[in-house]
Amino acid sequence: MVGIIRTGAYFPRRRLDRALIGKAWGTRVPPGTRTVAGLDEDALTMATDAVLACLGEGDPGRYDALYFASTSSPYGEKQVASVIATAVDLPREVAVADLGGSVRAGLGALRAALDGVRAGSHRAALVVAADVRRVEPESELEPLLGDGALAVAVGQDDVVAELVTTASVSEEFTYVFRTDEQRYLQVSEPRFGATYGYARDMGDAIALALRRAELPPARVAKLALAAPDARTAADAARRAGCEPGQLETSLGSEVGVLGTAEPLALLARSLETATPGDFLLAGAYGEGADVLVFRATERLPAARPRPLAERLARGLPVPSYERFLRAHAVLPGESIGEPVTSMIEWKELKQNVRLYGSRCESCGLVQYPQARVCLGCRSRDRMADHKLGKRGSIFTFTIDNLAPVPEHPLPMAVVDLEGGGRLYLQVTDAADGEVKVGTPVELTFRRLHEAGGNRYYFWKARPLEAR
Amino acid sequence: MKDRVAVIGIGCTKFGDRFERSYEELICDAAFEAYADAGIDPSEIEAAYLGTYLPGPGGGKAAVSLADALRLYDRPITRVENYCATGTDAFRNGCLAIASGTYDIVLVLGAEKLKDRGGRGIPRLGHPLLARGNTAPGLFALAANRYIHTFGLRRETLAKVAVKNHRNGARNPKAHLRMEVTEEQVLKAPIIAWPFGLFDCCPTTDGAAAAIICRADLAKRFKKAPVLVKGAGLAVTSGRPYFDPTFDYLGFRSTQAAAEQAYAMAGIAASDIDFAEVHDCFTWTEISNIEDLGFCRKGEGGKLEEEGQTALDGPRPINPSGGLKSFGHPIGASGVRMITECVTQLRGEAGERQVKDPELGLAHNVGGPGAVSCVVVLGQG
């Protein structure tokens, strides 16, 4: 049986009240909030967070492939999936691919991974989709989009939703695009595109999938359709003979439309309530449409994903529209730092990205950075690599207004990790008063600074979500 | 080394934003003032030690900066760099050179030109990823906050340190910030790195200071009454204290160890020290330092400050010069500047800020934070 094993979601803690956008431009905006990636976040960091959430306490060594999908990757050329695979400590012997092009890439990556498992190319694979899509200030899209990431683990064992069939249609259509020279998303003829692009292609792909699965439309428990809006999703459902009531509720009012992660997020939400035997259908659009049909297994009730609502609790308001513009790099923020040479990066990769310290085999002390002579007992070369835990508590801290970072204040903390070791880290996504001695924190892989035309990533601490 | 080395001449520039003076010119000012103070000709200098922490566009990378500034060629000169303990460590090295019997007269000079570096003179160093976001106030604040968490120190007590040191510095013509401040001003100043506000922090400063030392048995030949080096200690601990899971963050072991060495060499106890110039880069640091130096028990430094025991007219004045807080902190110069203050006080030449009849004075630097400490004890000849 080939299918979904687990899912993991990541949403930025920051929420922008859409009313602030309306107030800035004097326009009417839908009610609710949208998620906003912080200055230290991008598709790479959010994807890493989602994969870590998906892995949980599980062994990353189980996976031999990682697919990364995004239309807003921080790199035009660089294998971002390899960066994510390293940060989550997957083995070096892992197949990777970056997919993009349209928001269809998220579901496309899931299909490719499932096909890889079916074909015997992968034992088990991780799929992660993430986007921070930039739209023009004052455009209609500005309040509607959201930032976030969704990871899905697939394989042959421990499957909670079995892949039943897939269907695709693909044909040139001009609707949503961004040329290689454009910074912001373009939408051509929204109403026409929604009807003759989205609804037509999606409806046909759903109908084709249902035929292949020999499934009457009424048998579908949930349609997890990534759609520009609810009305268009309903149009597509009807075209395939389904009812709008079968559509999974979107995250639009709190999160916004996610991009590549959208169909995976809706599918994850469907898994929260599905019962064994339920048919779940996921769809995504982009000059055509992909549809994947799953059937919930007997294993699902005992292995449900963490509800997305839990991941969305504890939001932090973005205080102003201007802060949102800076977070999305529309307004510049200056970060001073020096490039990390590729030689240093290579030498320290295990320590800095995989986050290994040393554990002294003589006295047991876990220490970071990696060292040859023990800090505790002075033994030489008795060190074993020690993978540091990603949770801990603040031993001491400061709230700094002087550090060369684009936004102040910058909380810094000395963190004692569960399982040993102590780190000194920037603290991110903290509310006022959260950074103090004893605060439980977890580690998150973030963009630290830019220098010499490149971007540099490292771990930060953030207040631990209530579990 | 006890009583084998004497300080016979001192010099110190006005500390401050010295945009009109180059690094080499500052060296020149401090050195020639020291030559005049000792009444010697530059040609009598046999060896020299230059303390500079951060080489800048104006020099400081190697000993040649001192040689060129003073045209002091064809003799041994060594540049010393040891974080904020650079100045006192340069002095300690000069003393060792005399005590070894190799040289009779040595120049020790600390110089730093922070302001010409741009960026308000704030040094930025370290690994490009690990510990990024650290600043000097932020690093010391980590210790201060743990200390506050443990001992319940109040920001009002920290403010008292700033008020006292500004009061002393206002009486010192060479100090960088020559104004008194009130406790309210200190408490209401913008926060730099919690719990430190602007007035809890020393400024970034340009300046140079010099000391001429010689064999104690030759000291009587020179102009001024000699001051003797009683003891010196230097201790280095981890430069990455924030990664050390065994570190309690309540004080600095390097200061404790360096003081133990210096006291043992001098054959004295901490209680014998009459006044001290300690490294008050931040207000909390002074409180922790006086504990680490053994003037009181750990956790009681704040009480000493509140009771006025560290004031100019208290039983053991701390930072009669105004300290780094008011006098300023040109990093490599600070330690040597502290030596010049100790000598001035021991000679009884400190004027308005004169400590009453001192016999033993102490100079202390700590950098890193806590990674490197140097302690020097000076006494009447």
Q: Which of chain B's residues have a Cβ under 8 Å away from the Cβ of A423? A: 242-243
Rounded to a whole number of angstroms, the distance from the CA of A323 to the nearest CA of chain B is: 21
Distances (CA, A) of B46 to A244, A354, B212: 94, 54, 11
Residue B104 to residues A329, A380, B90, B217: CA-CA distances in angstroms? 64, 43, 17, 10
Predicted confidence at residue B45, as pLDDT, reads: 98
Q: Looking at this protein, which amino acid is placed at residue A84?
A: I
In the 8-state DSSP scheme, what is residue A459? E
Mean of the pLDDT values across residues A25-31? 95
**pLDDT at residue A345 is higher than 80:** yes
Task: Please tell me if residue A371 touches chain B, with a CB cutoff of 8 Å.
Answer: no
Q: Judge contact between B21 and B13, C-beta under 8 A.
A: yes
How far from the centroid of its chain's Cα atoms is residue A174's Cα?
27
**Is there a contact between A395 and B249 if contact means CB atoms under 8 Å apart?**
yes
- To test the contact with chain B by mutation, choose from A354, A412, A459 the residue with the greatest count of B C-beta atoms within 10 A, namely A412
B131 contacts chain A (CB < 8 A) = yes
pLDDT tens digits, one per residue of B315-352: 999 999 999 999 999 999 999 999 999 999 999 999 99
Q: Which residues in chain B touch residue A456, judged by CB atoms under 8 angstroms apart?
A: 128-129
Residue A368 near chain B (CB below 8 Å)? yes
CA A181 to each of CA A105, A172, A177, A392, B125: distance values in angstroms, whole numbers, following the listed order: 20, 21, 11, 44, 37
Statement: residue B56 has pLDDT above 90: no
Q: Is residue B296 part of a domain?
A: yes
User: Which residues 136-175 in chain B show a CB within 8 A of chain A?
Assistant: 137-138, 141-146, 149
Q: For B39-48, how does the pLDDT look when each residue is reduced to its tens digit (9 = 90+)?
A: 999 999 999 9
Nearest by CB to B193, from A375, A400, A448: name it. A400
ipTM: 0.94
A111-150 tens-digit pLDDT: 999 999 999 999 999 999 999 999 999 999 999 999 999 9
Buried b (16+ CB within 10 A) or exposed e, A11-50: bbbbbbbbebbbebeeeebeebbbbbbbbbbbbbbbbbbb
Q: Do A422 and B242 touch (CB under 8 A)?
A: yes
Mean pLDDT of A437-464: 95
Q: Decide if B328 is inside a domain.
A: yes
Q: What is the mean pLDDT of chain A?
A: 95
Tell me the pLDDT band of A350, cut-offs 50, 70 and 90: very high
Which residues of B are tagged catalytic?
84, 329
* Chain A neighbors of B237, CB-CB under 8 A: none
| Domain ranges in chain A with CATH number 3.40.47.10 | 3-327
Has residue B368 got a pLDDT over 90? no
Nearest CA to CA, how far is B320 from chain A (Å)? Answer: 29
A-chain residues near B240 (CB < 8 A): 369, 424
The pLDDT of residue B54 is 93
What is the average per-residue pLDDT within A47-67?
A: 96
Give yes or no for residue A336 having a pLDDT over 80.
no
What CATH number labels A342-355+390-463? 2.40.50
The pLDDT tens digits for B286-317 are 999 999 999 999 999 999 999 999 999 999 99
The domain in which residue B296 lies consists of 5-117+202-380
B120 interfacial to chain A (CB closer than 8 Å)? no
Share of chain A above pLDDT 70, in %: 99
Number of domains in chain B: 1
Residue B132 lies in a domain: no
* Domain-embedded: residue B195: no
What is the pLDDT at residue A188? 93
pLDDT band at residue A335 using 50, 70 and 90 as cut-offs: low
- Chain A nearest-CA distance from B330, in A, is 19
Average pLDDT over residues B343-366: 98
Report pLDDT for A334: 66
pLDDT of residue A466: 58
Per the model's pLDDT, the better-predicted residue between B119 and A214 turns out to be A214
Over range A260-269, report the average pLDDT.
Answer: 98
Interface touch B137/A402, C-beta < 8 Å: yes
Q: Is the pLDDT of residue A266 over 50?
A: yes
| Side-chain-facing half-sphere of B231: CA atoms under 13 Å | 23
pLDDT, tens digit, 9 for 90 and up, residues A271-313: 999 999 999 999 999 999 999 999 999 999 999 988 999 989 8
Q: Is the pLDDT of residue B58 over 90?
A: no
Please report residues of A whose CB lies closer than 8 A to that of B134.
403, 412, 424
Residue B99 lies in a domain: yes
Where in chain A do CATH 2.40.50 domains reside? Answer: 342-355+390-463
Higher per-residue pLDDT: A340 or B119: A340
For B140, the closest chain A residue by CA position comes to A398
Residue B149 inside a domain? The answer is no
pLDDT of B162 higher than 90: yes
Spatial distance between the Cα atoms of A253 and B111, rounded to a whole number of angstroms = 62
Which CATH number belongs to the domain containing residue B344 in this structure?
Answer: 3.40.47.10
A430 touches chain B (CB under 8 A): no
Cα(B92)–Cα(B2) distance, rounded to whole angstroms?
12
Chain B residue at shortest CA distance from A428: B133
Contact B242/A437, CB-based, under 8 Å? Answer: no
Residue B363 inside a domain? The answer is: yes
The fold of A3-327 is Peroxisomal Thiolase; Chain A, domain 1 (3.40.47)
Could you tell me if B215 and B168 are in contact, meaning their C-beta atoms sit under 8 angstroms apart? no
Query: Do the Cβ atoms of A424 and B243 come within 8 Å?
Result: yes
Where does B4-85 have alpha helices with state H? 23-38, 64-70
Confirm if A226 and A289 have CB atoms less than 8 A apart.
Answer: no
Nearest Cβ partner for B244 among A344, A401, A422? A422
A467 falls in which pLDDT band (50, 70, 90)?
A: very low
- Burial, A264: exposed, middle or buried (Cβ in 10 Å; 0-12, 13-18, 19+)? buried
Nearest to B138 among A339, A400, A449 (CB): A400
- Write out pLDDT tens, residues A206-244: 999 999 999 999 999 999 999 999 999 999 999 999 999
Span A55-78, average pLDDT: 96
Instruction: Pick from A397, A400, A448, A456 the residue to mutate for testing the B interface (most B CBs within 10 Å).
Output: A400
Rounded to a whole number of angstroms, the distance from the CA of B288 to the nearest CA of chain A is: 16
Cβ of B134 within 8 Å of Cβ of A423? The answer is no
| Residue B117 CB contacts under 8 Å (≥ 6 apart), including other chains | B54, B56, B57, B123
The answer to whether residues B372 and B254 touch, using CB atoms and an 8 Å cutoff, is yes
Q: A376 to chain B: which residues are within 8 Å by CB? A: 246
